[in-house]
Amino acid sequence: MEYRPLGNTGLEVSVAGLGCGGNSRLGLGRGASFDECVAVVRTAVDLGVNFLDTGEAYGTEEIVGAAARSYDRDRLVISTKAIFRSGSDTAETVARRVDGALKRLGLDYLDVFHFHAVHPTAYDFHHDELAPALVRLKEQGKVRHVGITETGPNDPEQKMLSRATREPPWEVVMLAYSLMNQGARHKIFPTTQRRGVGTLLMFVVRNLFSNAAYRRDVFADLVAQGHLDRSILSEADPLGFLLAEGGAESITDAAYRYARHEQGADVILFGTGNKDHVKDNVASILRPALAPPIIERLHASFGHLTGVGLDRPGPVKK
């Protein structure tokens, strides 16, 4: 495993991070027993993954907590999050939600606590009304670092993080980034690198990269909308060049490697409920960067696109 600093937090994190979602695609929490889910998390940790991300909305905090008890606490970096809504939540709510997360995880402190899926229109509420309460919890030692995550499907232009990355108290951010959704290269990463904000990359792999039929339909729609030239549909697979010319083992392999070696990327989050897939995903994230001509082609072909591949995880029938 390779490790790197998470921004200026002082935390050393694995470049591969396990995203412990609770939906059918990510596997944890549905279609498997509690013990089977715990075993998936332990498989990742035994491969060197030390960054574990969960959340109240996922229903997997207890799973992560059970897995974590098998290891020294100092070995792991555990991140969780909760959704807050204006009109119903207050600064007092923040303390209760953090305490609830600590209880479910069985921990004395959280390495990172995020405000989860913050829409641009809700940013001021989170920054002005809720963040001071989270900072106080940091001062008390319950939270080591303050984070915020975007809602990619509802904020494809990354308006919220374009503001958040420029001001305190945010020390860590979670954002959508992939070889078909490259906006953060210009909008987010220059600021996070300059200010030392840690980055967690989600939506790196979605149905677009794992389902060939769905992928071709997406590209056909992009051509019809005038976002891509029709010539891109001349090949059986519009991304087939990543295998033929780029040396990737699969489109998914290429997607992980593209994100992993982007300047400004700290942790590449992956999710699965299959222990074998854990090994495959970690292997891809640890492989060398794609060849420079391939990266240049990806930037030239898709760098102008916004919000492509931000489908929420789940099966796509084709």
> Is it the case that residue 318 has pLDDT exceeding 60?
no
- Check pLDDT > 90 for residue 301: yes
**Structure-token pair, residue 50:** 């030390």
Average pLDDT, the chain: 93
Pick the closest to residue 55 from 287, 235, 269 (CA basis): 269
Tell me what the mean pLDDT of segment 140-163 comes to: 97
Tens digit of pLDDT for each residue in 41-71? 999 999 999 999 999 999 999 999 999 999 9
pLDDT at 313: 55
Residue 249 CA to residue 290 CA, distance in Å, equals: 11
pLDDT band at 24 (very low <50, low <70, confident <90, very high): very low
Residue 247: is its pLDDT beyond 90?
no
Element spanning 163, H or E? helix 159-164
**pLDDT recorded at residue 246:** 74
Can you tell me the distance from the alpha carbon of 315 to that of 117, in angstroms, rounded to the nearest whole number? 22
3-state helix, strand, coil in the chain (%, to 5): 45, 15, 40
Relative to beta strand 16-19, strand 51-53 is parallel
Distances in whole angstroms, Cα of residue 186 to Cα of each of 44, 72, 151, 182? 32, 38, 18, 8
The DSSP annotation for 300-316 comes to: HHHTT--STT-PPSS--
Helix (H) or strand (E) holding 36: helix 34-46
Q: How confident is the model at residue 28 (pLDDT cuts 50, 70, 90)?
A: low
Contacts of 28 (CB under 8 A, 6+ apart): 20, 21, 22, 37, 40, 41, 58, 60, 63, 271, 273
Q: How many CA atoms lie within 13 A of 63 on its CB side?
A: 29
pLDDT on residue 164 = 98
Lowest mean pLDDT among 20-24, 74-78, 248-252, 265-269: 20-24
Average pLDDT over residues 136-165: 97
pLDDT at 23 over 90: no
In which band, very low, low, confident or very high, does the pLDDT at 179 lie, cut at 50, 70 and 90? very high
Q: With 80 as the cut, is the pLDDT of residue 31 above it?
A: no
d(CA 164, CA 51): 22
User: By the 8 A CB rule, do 161 and 188 touch?
Assistant: yes
Tokens of 199: 């980055």
pLDDT band at 29 (very low <50, low <70, confident <90, very high): low
Sequence-separated (6 or more) residues with CB below 8 Å from residue 289: 257, 260, 261, 295
Whether the CB-CB separation of 16 and 270 falls below 8 Å is answered with yes
